[in-house]
Amino acid sequence: MKSFIKGAMIASVAALGLSLAACDSKQENAAEDQADAVRKMTDATADAIDAAANATSGATEQKLENKADAVRKAGEDKADKMEDQADKMDKAPG
């Protein structure tokens, strides 16, 4: 019985150690936070452009809607690249 409890304790400590090793570093978390900020900022900008588009009609409305879509896409692309770079921060060279 004692050896079972001792084995269970060792297994839990080992699992805890492995889970901590998989945690993101402070630098990676900061970079991911920056990516989220870029995403939020570009979404807010695109929303403002969409609101301006809703106040117009015809070709002007379409032009503004296209611009809002482009701003969203550019923000998503930039944030995705930032997150990809952040994910690579903690990877050990192999």
Other Cβ atoms within 10 Å of 76 Cβ, number: 14
Q: What's the mean pLDDT when you consider all of the chain?
A: 81
Please say whether the beta carbons of 38 and 75 come within 8 A: yes
Q: Is the pLDDT of residue 93 over 70?
A: no
Q: Are the beta carbons of 41 and 82 closer than 8 angstroms?
A: no
Tell me phi and psi for residue 45, to 5 degrees: -65, -45
Does the pLDDT of residue 15 top 60, yes or no?
Answer: no
d(CA 29, CA 25): 6
pLDDT at 53: 96
Domain residues of the chain, as ranges? 25-94
Q: What is the pLDDT of residues 35-73, one digit of tens each?
A: 999 999 999 999 999 999 999 999 999 999 999 999 999
Mean pLDDT, range 21-28, rounded to an integer: 72
